[in-house]
A and B are shown apart, each in its own frame.
Chain A
């Protein structure tokens, strides 16, 4: 009984900590997709965020500076994504996948240039603040006590995102732009500006998710650190119907499959097999789960289309 309980706690703790970066990235993806740009570049934004967060921490010695640097890095590459998709009207799939490849090779190259090692960076300062003050909360206290402060921040962001999207004038305008850019533009909305904002908010949140992976998780940057989580975040965003609350639920499903994978690796089952679990889950979700989910109608469209 106690053995099972301990394992359950372990898995739940891991579920939450694996979910945080996914929630942040897909939350960002919502802003991008809702403004009409499918967030296929999420992987590049997470990866860049993970890298710049380590760079920021390495040079400043402060992990919080690193967090901001992570958001900045994500924002920067998302701005690039925005320029491609909005200004030059590049096909969003091509632009997204292209940037993902670019981010992988650029971060590898820069790791080599800065630290002389292409595999990983040295260990940097990490975020010390955790939620241990919640350890006294009954039942869930045990699960929360080891979690990073970013859990709290993520929770706040989820609520703020929902509020902004569905309660404010800004959110209404963003959603109209994503549904029908032409209608929005005839009514005098600044369609391009709103799309850039959506994409950059996306980059900041995904960058923060990446920063969590690097400076909050293992305190260094590794080559291909995000390992496809950006793509999984896209799936989560779709499965979560482009809605902040549902996205949390969807992310927890994937976080759980990740946690199980880590747990089972410690149980003598071949790790290569176990590592496929999250991707197999993704495959099943794509095949069966997302058929009836309608994306914003204006994805890939421009206000001056004919």
Chain B
């Protein structure tokens, strides 16, 4: 048989919470394949692969690698068998060089000395073989996310790994970097490596994988799916357990007058022009999407439009009236905003759901009186939100850090949407969120739009912007370079604007 890994009847129970993360799961890997392990967040994908990588002992069941039964209790056991894992959160040391990061634990030596030259030479050879654009002497902190991921892949292969597990590798990448990664994966496959890609993105599975397995709530729903014989719809049904509407477009029925207008927005910091001459209008009943590769000024734009950062110049009007002040004033004026990073800006992770649900709105008479919080009322409100927004949680007093990414995002969204703002500025609403929650968040946004709210959407997910937006702008290096109505531009056209290869301003 060419099954190089066979995992049989694997179960894993976390003793602290008594949660059964994996329930009698079987899984096999064939030599030289790209295998997509699909599932929603919390379905047990990473748990299963961490068992294979020796990071998740103890477990019950049997792991057979290259025909021999093995007990995986430490990553080093797996590494010695040629199994490596590239984690979602990179295991790199930013202040050290590419070479140092890659060779750690198996350094070439001269006596007791670290043989830096031969390490760098070997790694340069690998870099040349795979056509990575990297220097072994570069410090990891100076590299982009995509480059850091390549360092992780080199680290996995150094020492000759035959099996590489990639945990959600595309979550942190731009569309261009995803293409590069897929090219690398194909080259590794041609080289005879076996690759597991852990993901919840169906399109990626269809694009890159040979076979797929689907986990749901710790159970293996289907394994040995031949990707060429399946469809996105079929895979999503296995994954969620019901039919999901994905990528359905729901154009606006009625676009009203201008609700929110930005004129002449410039931001210069340290003699560096970050936002250049931005003008935009959002109408009632409209979603205006801003597409762009991350780092082109979206974060700054979001902060300026929510009053967190002071622009160099800007004229901001809400329903025709000039708007001024700080973040507090913006909230009070009915501009709700969902920040791009829920963990650092949207939530206080160690605080409970009910506390997070009233953050920023805690002074409302509904929630507090003379500086004292009304605990009972807040909890009632919170219970109601948990039900309404289908937040999966043990209760209102659960700390937000205990929730999955999708449910954390629902808490942020519930907080903003329940305040009934006229204008909603929403950034990366579904980053790191599973399909079920994504579908729900999108439909809530569309509902609010149909109620006549004006929504400004910033997202790095091109599919998301294209499907939701009634009108779309493309931002590149702090400048709006293109504008289009729904479905006026296709994906590759938008891509050209996003990378600066084209601009409507300079007349194409």
Minimal beta-carbon separation of A21 from chain B (angstroms):
29
Chain A 15-59: CB-based contact to B (< 8 A → 1; otherwise 0): 000000000000000000000000000000000000000000000
Interface-side segment among A118-126, A138-146, A163-171, A275-283? A163-171
Chain B 53-88: CB-based contact to A (< 8 A → 1; otherwise 0): 001000000000000000000111001000000000
Are B75 and A168 neighbours in the complex by a CB distance under 8 Å?
no
Q: Which of A152-183 contact B (CB under 8 A)?
A: 167-173, 175-176, 179-180, 182-183
Residue of A170, A187, A294, A297 touching B104 (CB-CB under 8 A) = A187
- Please, which residues of chain B bring their CB within 8 A of the CB of A169? 107, 109, 112-114
In the complex, A264 has a CB within 8 A of chain B: no
Minimal beta-carbon separation of A224 from chain B (angstroms):
38
How far apart are the CA atoms of A169 and B111 in the complex, in Å? 9
How far apart are the CA atoms of A170 and B107 in the complex, in Å? 10
Minimal beta-carbon separation of B476 from chain A (angstroms):
33
Are B76 and A180 neighbours in the complex by a CB distance under 8 Å?
no
**From DSSP, what is the main secondary structure of chain B's interface residues?**
loop
In the complex, B100 has a CB within 8 A of chain A: yes
Q: Which of B77-105 contact A (CB under 8 A)?
A: 79, 91-96, 100-101, 104-105
How far apart are the CA atoms of A171 and B112 in the complex, in Å? 10
Most buried by A among B74, B92, B104: B104
The count of chain B contact residues (Cβ–Cβ below 8 Å) is 21
Are A168 and B96 neighbours in the complex by a CB distance under 8 Å?
no
**From DSSP, what is the main secondary structure of chain A's interface residues?**
helix
Are A180 and B92 neighbours in the complex by a CB distance under 8 Å?
yes
Question: Across the two chains, which residue of chain A brings its CB closest to B105?
Answer: A187
How far apart are the CA atoms of A244 and B235 in the complex, in Å? 58
Are B75 and A188 neighbours in the complex by a CB distance under 8 Å?
yes
Question: Across the two chains, which residue of chain B brings its CB closest to A294?
Answer: B95
- Please, which residues of chain B bring their CB within 8 A of the CB of A170? 112
Residue of A168, A183, A297 touching B95 (CB-CB under 8 A) = A297
In the complex, A184 has a CB within 8 A of chain B: yes
- Please, which residues of chain A bring their CB within 8 A of the CB of B79? 187-188
**A168-B114 contact, Cβ under 8 Å, with A179-B93, A183-B92:** yes
**A183-B114 contact, Cβ under 8 Å, with A175-B96, A294-B95:** no
In the complex, A189 has a CB within 8 A of chain B: yes
Question: Across the two chains, which residue of chain A brings its CB closest to B79?
Answer: A188
Chain B 445-464: CB-based contact to A (< 8 A → 1; otherwise 0): 00000000000000000000
In the complex, A186 has a CB within 8 A of chain B: yes
Are B107 and A297 neighbours in the complex by a CB distance under 8 Å?
no
Are B104 and A189 neighbours in the complex by a CB distance under 8 Å?
yes
Residue of A168, A188, A189, A297 touching B93 (CB-CB under 8 A) = A297
- Please, which residues of chain B bring their CB within 8 A of the CB of A297? 93-95
- Please, which residues of chain B bring their CB within 8 A of the CB of A189? 104-105
Minimal beta-carbon separation of B505 from chain A (angstroms):
40
Minimal beta-carbon separation of A163 from chain B (angstroms):
9
Minimal beta-carbon separation of A298 from chain B (angstroms):
8
**A186-B91 contact, Cβ under 8 Å, with A169-B114, A175-B96, A176-B96:** yes
Minimal beta-carbon separation of A191 from chain B (angstroms):
11
How far apart are the CA atoms of A187 and B87 in the complex, in Å? 13
Are A168 and B112 neighbours in the complex by a CB distance under 8 Å?
yes
- Please, which residues of chain A bring their CB within 8 A of the CB of B93? 176, 179-180, 183, 297
10 more contacts with CB within 8 A, not counting A169-B112, A179-B93, are A169-B114, A172-B107, A179-B94, A180-B91, A186-B55, A187-B75, A187-B76, A187-B105, A187-B106, A189-B104
Seen from chain B, the residues whose Cβ lies within 8 Å of a Cβ on chain A are 55, 74-76, 79, 91-96, 100-101, 104-107, 109, 112-114
User: Can you report 10 residue pairs joining A to B where beta carbons are below 8 Å apart?
Assistant: A169-B107, A171-B114, A172-B100, A176-B104, A179-B96, A187-B75, A187-B79, A189-B104, A294-B95, A297-B95
| Leading 6 A-B pairs by shortest Cβ distance | A188-B76, A187-B105, A183-B91, A179-B93, A186-B75, A180-B93
